Amino acid sequence: MDLFDQKKENKSLTSLIFERIREDILNGRYAPGDKLVEIKLADELGVSRTPVREALKQLELDGLVDNIPNRGVVVKGITSEDIDDILTIRLCIEGLVGQWAAERIEDFEIKELQEIFDLMEFYTSKGDVEKIFELNTRFHETLYKATKSRYLEGVLKDFQLFIRQSRNNSLKAEGRIDFALEEHREILSALKKHDQENTRKALTKHISASNDNIKHLI
């Protein structure tokens, strides 16, 4: 199956299955309360039951499923309370991203962010929300990488993933893409100067506005 063409990334079979099922949960293919049957998943994916079993254990550790005695593995998904918690935690630590990124960012990363921003500006003029969402994710993940902290990067990339649908919907609110573009402009301007305080403020302002928009939607 096409899933396993991703071997070029040197990921294990269990990791690929984990990512596929996680994607299906976050995209709503599996709704909260749905039962995930090991043998059925193995058959659908064309693999043995062992990597599926291991992937389900990882999903349980991530809090996306529950293994309930006498019932089996059941989808928990991401609740509105989970999203609210993630938004609150994210706001608290994004300021640190701004400080560390401004301090540690390299020239090639600033160039990459500028290229992403230029594309965001172009697609904002076209009103292409789906493309803007993709570029927005790339912009923030480049920022996380610029902190040179793999732990901070890992946590925030997971947060981005878990609230992806909410983030995407928030960009569709009237006028949001224009405001978001200007917020990214401020972040990039401060980063170019390696201004830690103003990068922190600009990023916190952007995340706060995004959070408010998401909370309004949910």
**CATH at residue 91:** 1.20.120.530
Domain boundary among 18, 49, 75: 75
pLDDT score for 79 = 86
Q: Are residues 21 and 122 in the same domain?
A: no
Mean pLDDT taken over the chain = 92
User: Are 133 and 98 members of one domain?
Assistant: yes
Confidence (pTM): 0.81
Asked if residue 113 and residue 201 are part of one domain, the reply reads: yes
Q: Check whether residue 114 and residue 207 sit in a common domain.
A: yes
137 and 205 both lie in a single domain: yes
Q: Are residues 8 and 48 in the same domain?
A: yes
Report the domain count for the chain. Answer: 2
- Hey, is 74 helix, strand or coil? strand
Residue 55 has pLDDT above 80, yes or no: yes
Q: Give the CATH number for residue 69.
A: 1.10.10.10
Distances (CA, A) of 122 to 102, 168, 191: 25, 18, 21
Q: In this model, does residue 172 exceed pLDDT 70?
A: yes
**Is pLDDT above 80 for 217?**
no
CA distances from 62 to 35, 155, 194, 206 (A): 17, 12, 35, 27
Which whole number is the average pLDDT over 12-20?
94
Percent of the chain at pLDDT > 70 equals: 95
Considering the domain architecture, whether residues 61 and 133 belong to the same structural domain is answered as no
Residues 56 and 135 in one domain: no
CA distance 26 to 28: 5
Residue 211 sits in the same domain as residue 135? yes
Q: Containing domain of residue 68, as a range?
A: 2-75
- Choose the final residue of a domain: 29, 60, 75: 75
pLDDT score recorded for residue 164: 86
Would you place residue 27 in the very low, low, confident or very high pLDDT band (cuts 50, 70, 90)? confident
Residue 71 and residue 87 in one domain? no
Q: Assess whether 45 and 103 both reside in one domain.
A: no
Question: Which of 30, 49, 75 lies at the terminal end of a domain, its last residue?
Answer: 75
Q: Are 93 and 141 part of one and the same domain?
A: yes
pLDDT of residue 1: 45
Distances from the Cα of 128 to the Cαs of 21, 78, 113, 178, in angstroms?
28, 27, 19, 12
